[in-house]
Amino acid sequence: MGPGRSLQTSPHRLMNADLLPRQVAVIFDLDGTLVDSEPHCARTWDELARELGTALPTAGPVGATVDARVRMMEHRTGISAEQIHSMYWGRLEACFRKALRPLARTYALACQLRTAGAPVAIASNSRRERVDRTIEIALPELLGVPSIAADEVAHPKPAPDLFLRAATHLGIEPHDCLVVEDSDIGMAAARAAGMMTLRVHH
């Protein structure tokens, strides 16, 4: 498989079919790939917007950071972006603790790869605190897996920075990395990084 190639298989077949050559690293997106967070985020964002009396567009593009919407809300309400982030995350964390669940097939794949000793990482367009809480709440078997968060790179997805940082951390060349993603934005980032891609649909 060369750079930019897309695997035409599903996550649960990946291990059985033994499609991965040796020395391939697998980098997982988090939201919508390993956990079912997207509906919780959309609902929490809508509730916050209503509470603050702003008629903002509902969920942003799937896979995008929340930053553009936070800036828009800052502009409309006069509340600082950091405060909005904090209000949003406070509500979302409470929701995650009640309702966040792993997406079974990709979670199982990540766990199997890790157990088999394959290089595995997580690259997320969410911030560090949210990445850590998400793993702790819903993906306990992935605690300790290296992860890169959106606030740790200059440019989040669709830029390639997160995936390239993960590859560097794992010591694997980008063309030997396979990205597992659910969104257009994430797929664009993986392609920009010159990595193989596997798109998941839940």
Binding site for Mg ion (CB under 5 A): 29, 31-32, 63, 182-183
Q: Which is nearer to Mg ion, 50 or 184 (CB)?
A: 184
Nearest distance in Å: CB 76, Mg ion: 26
Q: Which is nearer to Mg ion, 85 or 199 (CB)?
A: 199
Q: Which is nearer to Mg ion, 2 or 36 (CB)?
A: 36
Per 3-state DSSP, the chain is made up of helix, strand and coil in percentages (nearest 5) of 50, 10, 40
Instruction: Assign 197 to helix, strand or coil.
Output: strand
Q: Which is nearer to Mg ion, 36 or 75 (CB)?
A: 36
Nearest distance in Å: CB 18, Mg ion: 26
Nearest distance in Å: CB 52, Mg ion: 26
CB proximity list for 87: less than 8 A, separation 6 or greater: 48, 79
Nearest distance in Å: CB 182, Mg ion: 4
Rounded Cα distance between 63 and 186, Å, is: 6
Residue 28 parent element (H or E)? strand 25-28
Q: Which is nearer to Mg ion, 61 or 75 (CB)?
A: 61
- Chain residue at closest Cβ approach to Mg ion: 32
Sheet holding 25-28, edge to edge: 147-148, 120-123, 25-28, 177-181, 196-199
Nearest distance in Å: CB 87, Mg ion: 23
What are 62's two structure tokens?
Answer: 């799937």
